[in-house]
Amino acid sequence: MTDLETLTRAGDLRELNRWLDEAGTLEIAEELARLAPPAKAVAFRLLGRDRALAVFEHLDPVHQQQVLEGLRDDRVRQLVEDMEPDDRARLIGELPASVATRVLSGLSPAQRAMTAALLGYPEESAGRIMSPEYVYLRESMTAADALERVRRAGAGAETVYMLPVTDDERRLQGVVSLREVVLAPPEARIGELMTREVHRVHATDDQEVAARLVQEAGLLALPVLDSEDRLVGIITVDDAMHVIEAEDTEDVALHGATQPLGRPYLAASVIGVARSRAAWLLVLIAASALTVNVLQLFEDTLETMVTLALFIPLITGTGGNTGAQASTVVIRAMAVGEVRFGDLPRVVGREARVGVTLGAFLAVIGFVPVAVVFGADIAVVVSITLLATCTWATFAGSLLPMLARRAGVDPAVVSAPLITTLVDATGLVIYFVVARAVLDV
Amino acid sequence: MTDLETLTRAGDLRELNRWLDEAGTLEIAEELARLAPPAKAVAFRLLGRDRALAVFEHLDPVHQQQVLEGLRDDRVRQLVEDMEPDDRARLIGELPASVATRVLSGLSPAQRAMTAALLGYPEESAGRIMSPEYVYLRESMTAADALERVRRAGAGAETVYMLPVTDDERRLQGVVSLREVVLAPPEARIGELMTREVHRVHATDDQEVAARLVQEAGLLALPVLDSEDRLVGIITVDDAMHVIEAEDTEDVALHGATQPLGRPYLAASVIGVARSRAAWLLVLIAASALTVNVLQLFEDTLETMVTLALFIPLITGTGGNTGAQASTVVIRAMAVGEVRFGDLPRVVGREARVGVTLGAFLAVIGFVPVAVVFGADIAVVVSITLLATCTWATFAGSLLPMLARRAGVDPAVVSAPLITTLVDATGLVIYFVVARAVLDV
């Protein structure tokens, strides 16, 4: 099977054209994303205007920028002019300032004004991802009027499936779906067809909150209001899905102790990737220095009984894993809205009980093999330590993310790696205290 | 602020009714999910039929089941009869067999046949989440005919915004959106309006693949075909979003070394939660036993120089964290389709270079403090070990998930915790080999 990469490298334009004809827009976008920057524009230039736009809108802003760099100015202008305003705002928000200004100035006045308005909202806000082009209705219209209005105004709107109903001052009165309009008798009043209980957000609200609302409530579009409660745009379900994917990627990154790259993995440089991880590694290695100090405190004990050193990685590893399990589950439950701060006593209590159960289980399982190889004394120390460490780890692993959330910090920041490292040090203290008590060294 | 939980406990029906009147269906569903099982049905019974259905459809199957247990048989029958076929299949798939049979037998023949058909597809397949109720068109229809058909048949369908076009044998010819139908001149032919290049899946395909396709291509609905390429249903965007949320939750769980609970966190018992984590802890502790063996091999070295023991948690911790970073990023990049198996040499090569960069950075940062406190010899050993371990950890952390994917194993299974534990043991070997060479002990 040939792919776009091979064809572009071979430079056979006829084969390339044939491939582009047969492939779907999504497939072209995926393959284009994998090409080297100059090759991107070469392949892109072969696409017709409509297909080019469709492919372009599927690309990530990083790749969009690489395509733009290889196109002539008039083609750039055309392409950006044709984009949806919210996608355009997203692209322009990520371009270098000088390029952004040039691209903006090439737009028609109407499109420029719309894009500038979106860019006026804070980053990560609902206003940045909304579409200002929607079809609105009035309560006094009939279903037939409404359908006529959709016919006239619908071509430019991002969606016509959810139709907001406003008053003369653009205040939201309700929404009606195109399906309800089509299915209703032609003379039915919109004021009677519409739903007044409407989910809505403000343009300055966090876009993740808006996106999760679209997902939870199963909406096709969500009205966005300004500070005076006037309708300024709508967020469509596909934009919401992109936000959720990006937010989940961010959570996953933090969970693995890396800063989010903010761009596709293969589009980032080695130095960029290393930089995204270096800060976290430094924090964690600084926290690990604590374990060196703890062990120093117990150096005498270690010298008397070197065997104790053999179990250090096992104890810290198991504590770390148990803590990671607890924090992972609690962070995800908060992210999807199953758990709130008020549930803290319940959640932490449950986790502590889970920790006792798991610790007891591991203590029992581990006792015999350790006793056989290293003697009963050591086995008692290891088992007691496992029980205590697991309980402590689930307790801390559930408590810290919830406190972080309460303090306004993204709980994903206090996730597995940080908790693992903190539990390492406390686990060692538990281990040596138990060892001293039991072994009398 | 009063909430449903307080009100239900107080048992003040008038207040309860007032709260239910004022709250939105999504809010009611969220609050209902938090009540004790018997209280769920008490509050639920106060809802009118339409609202009850809307609230019920927002609940997770676990909570739906708890509500059903508290309702009279005729109310159960009514509620389940009114559900969308795919939501109903999901609920019935999770009910105990005896209850499922009773609920199924209470359905009308048409609804029962539809549900049974969906349940006939494998778990996790696209067939399970599709809606068999859709409005299809013919190429020969005009836009006006199509609109008339939507009016007549649209009430029962889950969506009418994407309209599949089929031939006499139900083979998919193309799709047209309701928007295109509404905007077109009434006499335009569907065969000319429709798009022939259509994303599609088979009913036995994995539902995550289908859901990601809906997300990537920004679809409102995706046609589903049977093994003979006949149209059997469509997957709507809201169902796709639920699948993606569930799959992401599953990935996150595996990432934290726990089996997915398959139900909301607070709805799971302490024993259930402990069980979901016990298997992974056992695997990891068995792998940790390796570290005990490794240290035993070097017990003589440790006895000669106990100071070496002080850095054991720091070395294993840092190696583990670096490996976790690499695996997290690579697993996510594969999940969202940015990286494929063919990219293996490129990805592993990048990661190894990232590892060298990070290791060199940490080695330089760490050298002076360690040298001051413990002497230059130990500092040399620690720095060389950090450099080697970081490189090895990013290499293994990126290679293993990609090989797992190739072998057909969910890469999330080979994620952070497992890699951390494997890197622990190899990191110790590196550490002591370096120590013996440098310190001559």
- Residues 355-384, chain B, touching A (beta carbon < 8 A): 357-358, 361-362, 365-366, 369
pLDDT > 70 in chain A, percent: 99
Contact yes or no for A318 and B365 at CB 8 A: no
Amino acid at B405: R
Say yes or no to pLDDT of A411 above 90: no
pLDDT-derived band at B351, boundaries 50, 70, 90: very high
Indicate the CATH number for domain A4-123. Answer: 1.25.60.10
Residue range B232-257: average pLDDT? 86
Nearest CB neighbour to B339, from listed A159, A266, A346:
A266
What's the ipTM? Answer: 0.80
Give contacts of A256 with chain B, Cβ < 8 Å: 255, 324-325, 327-329, 416
pLDDT-derived band at B414, boundaries 50, 70, 90: low
Contact yes or no for B241 and A215 at CB 8 A: yes
Amino acid at B378: I
Give contacts of B366 with chain A, Cβ < 8 Å: 285
Say yes or no to pLDDT of B184 above 90: yes
- The three-point CA angle A29-A35-A39 to 5° equals 105
Q: Find which of B4, B276, B312 to mutate to test the A interface (most A CBs within 10 Å of its CB).
A: B312
Weakest-pLDDT range from A361-375, A387-401, B73-87: B73-87
Domain A269-439, CATH class in plain words:
mainly alpha
> Residues near B157 by Cβ (< 8 Å), separated by ≥ 6?
B131, B133, B134, B135
Q: Find which of A239, A311, A314, A424 to mutate to test the B interface (most B CBs within 10 Å of its CB).
A: A314
Closest residue on chain A to B386 (Cα): A285
Say yes or no to pLDDT of B325 above 90: no
Say yes or no to pLDDT of A237 above 90: yes
**B228 CA to chain A: closest CA distance, Å?**
23
**A285 CA to chain B: closest CA distance, Å?**
7
Question: Mind giving me the DSSP string for B101-167?
Answer: HHHHHTS-HHHHHHHHHHHTSPTTBHHHH-BS----B-TT-BHHHHHHHHHHHGGGSS--SEEEEE-
Nearest CB neighbour to A281, from listed B244, B322, B337:
B322
From CA B203, how far away is CA B118, in angstroms rounded? Answer: 9
Nearest CB neighbour to B249, from listed A266, A274, A332:
A332
Question: For the segment A244-288, what is each residue's pLDDT rounded down to a tens digit?
Answer: 888 888 887 877 777 777 778 888 888 888 888 888 888 888 888
Please, what is the average pLDDT of chain A? 88
Residue B1 has what pLDDT?
45
Report which DSSP code applies to B354.
H
Residues in chain A: 441
- Residues 227-286, chain B, touching A (beta carbon < 8 A): 237-238, 241, 244-245, 248-249, 251-253, 255-258, 261, 264-266, 270-271, 273-274, 277-278, 280-282, 284-285
Question: Mind giving me the DSSP string for B394-420?
Answer: HHHHHHHHHHHHHTTS-GGGGSHHHHH
Closest by CA position to B262, among listed B90, B34, B45, B4: B90
User: Cα torsion at A5, A7, A9, A13 (round to 10°)?
Assistant: -140
**B69 CA to chain A: closest CA distance, Å?**
22
From CA A406, how far away is CA B6, in angstroms rounded? Answer: 22
From CA B142, how far away is CA B230, in angstroms rounded? Answer: 23
Is residue B259 classed as helix, strand or coil in its secondary structure?
Answer: coil
- Residues 4-33, chain A, touching B (beta carbon < 8 A): 24, 26, 30, 33
Nearest CB neighbour to A313, from listed B288, B307, B358:
B288
Q: Find which of A277, A389, A398 to mutate to test the B interface (most B CBs within 10 Å of its CB).
A: A277
Residue A257 has what pLDDT?
73
Residue A31 has what pLDDT?
87
- Residues 328-357, chain A, touching B (beta carbon < 8 A): 328-333, 336-339, 343, 346-347, 350, 353-354, 357
Residue A1 has what pLDDT?
45
**B338 CA to chain A: closest CA distance, Å?**
7
Amino acid at A225: L
Residue A73 has what pLDDT?
85
Contact yes or no for A281 and B321 at CB 8 A: yes
Say yes or no to pLDDT of B422 above 90: no
Contact in structure between B164 and B223 (CB atoms under 8 Å): yes
Contact yes or no for A154 and B288 at CB 8 A: no
From CA A225, how far away is CA A221, in angstroms rounded? Answer: 13
Say yes or no to pLDDT of B51 above 90: no
Residue A203 has what pLDDT?
95
Residue range A105-131: average pLDDT? 90
Give contacts of B339 with chain A, Cβ < 8 Å: 265-266
CATH 3.40.630.30 is the classification of domain A143-253: no
Strand order in the sheet with A201-202: A201-202, A221-225, A231-236
From CA B85, how far away is CA B150, in angstroms rounded? Answer: 19
Closest by CA position to A115, among listed A98, A136, A93: A93
Indicate the CATH number for domain B143-238. Answer: 3.10.580.10
Contact yes or no for B343 and A266 at CB 8 A: yes
Amino acid at B264: P
Residue B2 has what pLDDT?
63
CB half-sphere exposure, A46, CA atoms < 13 A: 20
Closest by CA position to B114, among listed B150, B94, B89: B89
Q: Where are the domains of chain A?
A: 4-123, 143-253, 269-439
Closest by CA position to B20, among listed A212, B2, B34: B2
Closest residue on chain B to A416 (Cα): B256
Report which DSSP code applies to B169.
T
Contact yes or no for B281 and A416 at CB 8 A: no
pLDDT-derived band at A414, boundaries 50, 70, 90: low
- Residues 150-189, chain B, touching A (beta carbon < 8 A): 150-151, 154-155, 159-161, 178-179, 182-183
From CA A417, how far away is CA A429, in angstroms rounded? Answer: 19
Question: For the segment A74-95, what is each residue's pLDDT rounded down to a tens digit?
Answer: 888 888 998 988 889 888 888 8
Say yes or no to pLDDT of A60 above 80: yes
> Given CB atoms, is A196 within the 8 Å cutoff of chain B?
no
**A91 CA to chain B: closest CA distance, Å?**
18
Say yes or no to pLDDT of A413 above 80: no
Please, what is the average pLDDT of chain B? 88
Question: For the segment B287-317, what is each residue's pLDDT rounded down to a tens digit?
Answer: 888 888 888 889 888 888 889 999 999 998 8
Residue range A49-78: average pLDDT? 88
Q: How many residue pairs bridge chain A and chain B with CB atoms within 8 Å of each other?
A: 334
Closest residue on chain A to B245 (Cα): A336
- Work out the end-to-end distance of chain B between its first and last CA atoms, rounded to an integer number of angstroms: 69
Closest residue on chain A to B144 (Cα): A182
Say yes or no to pLDDT of A362 above 90: yes
Question: For the segment A169-221, what is each residue's pLDDT rounded down to a tens digit?
Answer: 999 999 999 999 999 999 999 999 999 989 999 999 999 999 999 988 889 99
Residue B413 has what pLDDT?
66
Contact yes or no for B288 and A197 at CB 8 A: no
**A134 CA to chain B: closest CA distance, Å?**
13
